[in-house]
Structure 1
Amino acid sequence: MATIPPRTLPASWYTSKPLYQLERRAVFLKSWYLLGPIIKFAPGTSVDYEFAGVHLTVNAAPPTDPSDQPHTPSITVLDSTTGTPLRHHTTTTGLIFTAISPLAPSFHTFFPNLEATLSAVDFTARPHRRSISYSGHFNWKTMIDGYQECLHCQYTHPAFSLLYPPTFYAVKNHHNWCQHYADAARPDDGLFLYFLPNCTLNVYGGGMSLFRVCPTEEPGRTRMEFDYYNVVEGEAFEEYYKFVRQVADEDFELCETVQGNLERGIYAEGVLNSVKENGVAYYQQRVLEMVLEQHQEDRQQARTRGAEGAATSTLAVEHAPARHGNSIPNRAIVEASA
């Protein structure tokens, strides 16, 4: 029997405001986020972040033990609006993750077996060199779609493809995170990781970069945030920075073009390559699963309150996927709470 290929999320999921509000509660409030290596947070300083409308501040206190290394401060993460402490986790190799609400499970439940993969790299070995942020005209998933496959790489990223030929490119999906292999026969050649929903970590070309795809209230607008790390500085760093920024700019242009087509109705829904686009299929399926679970929770809560229909305004999202992968049931309508 032939296997039914996975299908994409419908275009309406990239343009609907009510759908984003449902994603916010279903996905973003229940996830963990990569803030960066501990070396980014100089003792005595604070760094602000925002994820899906939740503002938070990372405070780095000077180490209480004078013999401790200067790049290992005591970290606290606070909700900037309420002052409430937020859970955070520092890996054994120096990466800091945070949850933004109590709805998220524990770090190890959300990212099982991730620490074993991270143990191969000392993430405190490369000093923080530069951070940049800017807005893009595309949905957050538009950018993640591009990151999760490399079919576009040879055409869009010719310089990158010389170093990492897409012929050998492969993605291995884990629970809520994915590892990309430039050459599956050489798994130690570069480290490329995606963390559901919107963070990445890339160690290649002698340096390290992170980016966060931060959604806004407008589904077609996203804020991109990049952090760059490298052992070199000066002109040597600028050469590295020029190369990685070229790749990022190429992706940016592609995503804005794709989003424009989505908003104009040129594309509605399609089929994914189960091998070459397995990373896209996996993350989109997880988003769909979490959204459907949240929708069912909302309906159950409404029934419990005895106010279903009065307490929730709904949106029928057109072109909902008939089937996603091989495990998601048919669904004609997705309702998003106002």
Structure 2
Amino acid sequence: MLTKAPRFTPESVPSFSPSSIRLFPIHVHVDRNGFVYVNLDAGVVPEISWEQQYGSLDQQDVLKDSGVDWDAVEYDFTWTKEGAFNWKLMQDNYNECYHCLTAHPDVARTTALDTYYVNPAPSHNYISHFSEPKASVLESSAFDSTRFAGRSATHVFPVSHFSPNPGTGFMHMMRSIPTSPTTTRQEYDVYKLNTPNATPEAHERMTKFYRKVVDEDFALCENVQKNLNRGIFGRGPLHPFHEEGVFAFQKMLLPVLADHVQKEKLAGHEIWPARPSNQTYAENGAAGTINGENGTSSICEVLIACNGDKNKDLQW
């Protein structure tokens, strides 16, 4: 319910009732490890439940047997980075390490890339990643075995992943936020896992490591976007092992897009699943939409239409 509306007094606006104006409810799920998932589906009941979409994501062996006390995880900081690429390019990039040998020298120096593999979840929307250290790394004074203890990563369809490193007590969570067809804001949350071998030095080392890898991935994705913009980028074959994750991501995405396009064709107008309908507004006691020929228009859209040329110079 609205708590404050300056100058909307009973004397100046007798018909105004703060109790009828409230935020729209959203669907939230907290998994067994404490990760919070938000579903902006405007329906009273989400079209797809968390269980239908993710199944046993939170019960992967690498999470249950990682030695992490998920109740003791501490948020550290967030950094963001603006990228000149479509959000799907970063998902393709993340879901394979085929490029790591040439694009990420630090990863290639420490990780056994020949045995790096992914495991797409059958019938659910996540992809598990697994890696192990090179034998030479374990013998090196620069790194120790704890760096890779319980290390894993999970792509959470469509735009996220998280990578816990229990051996060093470091975890980061990535989100790709589309800002236009050719730009994306990347958000990275960093956490402290407080595992037995975690040290401030190890956490700082891993933070520096991941920042460098992120910068390298940005360069790759932005160059791919440049090729797409020029219309010279062609589709090539995917390696059945080293790019299995890319194929799995695209296999998740394409049916969703095709289904949405088909629904819009049948409806004859754009469909925005997170936009509350008239019924949703009515159920929440708020008057905020107006029925138009092609569905629902927002108050802003209606006001602009009513004012005609008065707002022609507005920049949206």
- TM bin, normalised by shorter chain, reads 0.5 to 0.7
How far apart are residue 254 of structure 1 and its match? 1.2
Give the root-mean-square deviation of aligned CA atoms. 2.6
**Contact map agreement 1:89 1:107 (CA 8 A) in 2:** yes
Match of 1:97 among 37, 51, 56: 37
Residue 279 to residue 142, structure 1, CA distance change in 2 (3 Å): same
CA offsets 1:244-293 (integer angstroms, 9 cap, x no match): 11111111111111111111122132221122111111111221111111
CA offsets 1:150-189 (integer angstroms, 9 cap, x no match): 11011111212233221111111111100011149xx974
1:13-92 mapped onto 2 (5 Å cutoff): 83-92=23-32
2:191 is equivalent to residue 226 of structure 1: no
1:107 alignment counterpart? 50
1:19 alignment counterpart? none
Cα distance in 2 between the residues matched to 1:170 and 1:237: 25
* SS of structure 2 residue aligned to 1:124: helix
How far apart are residue 93 of structure 1 and its match? 1.6
State the percentage of identical aligned residues.
Answer: 31
1:214 alignment counterpart? 177
**Contact map agreement 1:88 1:96 (CA 8 A) in 2:** yes
Cα distance in 2 between the residues matched to 1:190 and 1:233: 16
2:59 alignment counterpart? 116
Amino acid aligned to 1:192: A
CA offsets 1:209-256 (integer angstroms, 9 cap, x no match): 00101101x211000000111236755533221111111111111111
1:182 alignment counterpart? 131
2:104 is equivalent to residue 157 of structure 1: yes
Q: Which has the larger radius of gyration?
A: 2
Residue 98 to residue 311, structure 1, CA distance change in 2 (3 Å): closer
Q: Per residue, is there more helix in 1 or in 2?
A: 2
Flag as ranges the 4+ runs of structure 1 deviating above 4 A.
232-236
Amino acid aligned to 1:291: L
2:244 is equivalent to residue 244 of structure 1: no
Cα distance in 2 between the residues matched to 1:297 and 1:178: 27
1:139 alignment counterpart? 86
How far apart are residue 201 of structure 1 and its match? 0.5
* SS of structure 2 residue aligned to 1:272: coil
Residue 119 to residue 108, structure 1, CA distance change in 2 (3 Å): farther
**Contact map agreement 1:261 1:267 (CA 8 A) in 2:** yes
Cα distance in 2 between the residues matched to 1:252 and 1:104: 34
Cα distance in 1 between the residues matched to 2:71 and 2:182: 35
* SS of structure 2 residue aligned to 1:269: coil
Structure of higher RCO (CA pairs closer than 8 Å, 6+ residues apart): 1
Amino acid aligned to 1:224: Q
**Contact map agreement 1:135 1:223 (CA 8 A) in 2:** yes
Instruction: Give the TM-score of the pair, scaled to structure 1.
Output: 0.61
1:328 alignment counterpart? none
Which runs of 5 or more structure 1 residues have no equivalent in the other structure? 1-80, 304-309, 313-338
How far apart are residue 104 of structure 1 and its match? 4.3
Amino acid aligned to 2:223: T
Cα distance in 1 between the residues matched to 2:249 and 2:107: 24
1:199 alignment counterpart? 160
1:306 alignment counterpart? none
How far apart are residue 200 of structure 1 and its match? 0.3
Amino acid aligned to 1:136: G
Cα distance in 1 between the residues matched to 2:34 and 2:259: 33
Cα distance in 1 between the residues matched to 2:155 and 2:183: 21
Amino acid aligned to 1:238: E
**Contact map agreement 1:213 1:225 (CA 8 A) in 2:** yes
Cα distance in 1 between the residues matched to 2:199 and 2:112: 28
How far apart are residue 130 of structure 1 and its match? 1.3
Amino acid aligned to 2:186: M
Amino acid aligned to 1:179: S
Alignment: residue pair count: 223
Instruction: Give the TM-score of the pair, scaled to structure 2.
Output: 0.65
